[in-house]
Amino acid sequence: GQNIDQPTEMTATEGAIVQINCTYQTSGFNGLFWYQQHAGEAPTFLSYNVLDGLEEKGRFSSFLSRSKGYSYLLLKELQMKDSASYLCAVMAGNYQLIWGAGTKLIIKP
């Protein structure tokens, strides 16, 4: 079967760094995506990894290891507005997106 695993909830302090992990098992792989979703709102695209390594975009970075079926999203200099759910999604071999349940990130002052 196809499966995406990520922690249900994480807590971090404003100004700190947090790493949200995602592991996956899918039939084929055509890329991994991270989305941010604030409560009651629609998800918005954050990052895309298809090759191994780190992709940096401002305060957010995303890492991929295809051999390990593993990715993480790294958020630096946390701000209160970063409180949201972070969704990991993998595009499988048939180009369908498989979604994780999301990690709810709580930022404390």
In single-letter form, the type of residue at position 39 comes to: A
List 102, 103, 105, 107, residue binding another protein (CB under 8 A):
102
Ranges assigned E (strand) in 39-99 = 44-49, 53-57, 60-65, 70-75, 84-91, 97-99
Q: CA geometry: angle at 99 spanning 96 and 101, to 5°?
A: 165
Is position 106 an interface residue for another protein (rule: CB under 8 A)? no
Instruction: Let me know: does 35 contact 43? Beta carbons within 8 Å.
Output: yes
List 38, 54, 77, 99, residue binding another protein (CB under 8 A):
99
- Of residues 13 through 32, those in contact with another protein by CB under 8 A are 30-31
List 16, 17, 54, 101, residue binding another protein (CB under 8 A):
101
Residues in the site for another protein, rule: CB under 8 A? 4, 8, 30-31, 33, 40-45, 48, 87, 89, 91, 95-97, 99-102
